[in-house]
Amino acid sequence: MSYQNKTTLALAFFSAFCIGMEMLRMHLSGTASFCFLIWNLILAWVPYILSQFFAAHDLRRHWLSALAVLAAWVLFLPNGPYIITDLLHLRQRVVIPFWYDVLLVSSYAWLGLLLSLLSVRQIHHKLTGHFAPRKLWIALPALFFSAGYGIYLGRFLRWNSWDVFFRPIYLLRRSLTELIHPFSHPQPLQVTVVIGTLLMLSYAVFYLSHHQNITHESE
């Protein structure tokens, strides 16, 4: 079994564990308070799956379809780290211990972040063979800050990734207003910078750790 298949299998087991925790919670509480986490996890898998499709493309022969997959991947990338913001739903409840809910949401959040980082690494690795590494590292902050803004749109304005297709004019007008007047709209800027920086630093550690392991194995 290839390394990529092993990784996907491990992520599948992790997902089963998270869903199992939610099923147990629903059984014990008789409510579906955190059932939305399962849907958010499904959305978090989308960029990871798209990154596998992109990695399988011959970029020179099928560049147009590869570009379409890449655009869809950028659009859905925020869905993974978005689950981190679901920690806002935590509060003390009568039936379920607070520690269980903390572990439940944290497990989904960690898995969502993992799926995102792995998908970025897959895309990064694929593009390394076609673009200078320095150019890719320059582009990465733009990717992560755009993901941070996407998370802001989802958490605070309650928009979805597919609203780009169904409400493009309103989305563009609202985004331009906030970008042109950032100090009049401080929350989008704050959320974008904090989450974008978090994602960038997380990926830097993730990438360097993986790169170091590969170097040691080759020695």
Please write the tens of the pLDDT for every residue from 49-90: 999 988 887 777 777 888 999 999 999 999 999 999 999 999
Q: Residue 210: what residue type?
A: H
Phi-psi region of 181 (alpha: psi -120 to 50; beta: other; left: phi over 0): beta
pLDDT above 90 (res 216): no
CA Rg value for the chain: 19
pTM, two decimal places = 0.87
| Closest-CA residue to 51 (of 139, 142, 114) | 114
| Closest-CA residue to 77 (of 113, 109, 107, 125) | 113
| Closest-CA residue to 194 (of 184, 206, 186) | 186
Where do runs of H (alpha helix) occur along 56-185? 63-76, 79-82, 98-128, 133-156, 163-166, 168-180
Q: b vs e for 19-41, b when ≥16 Cβ sit within 10 Å of the residue's Cβ?
A: eebbeebeeebeeeebeebeebb
Domain ranges of the chain: 3-218
| Residue of 184 and 31 predicted with greater confidence | 31
Lookup result for tokens 């890719």: 136
Q: b vs e for 185-200, b when ≥16 Cβ sit within 10 Å of the residue's Cβ?
A: eeebbebbeebbeebb
pLDDT above 70 (res 165): no
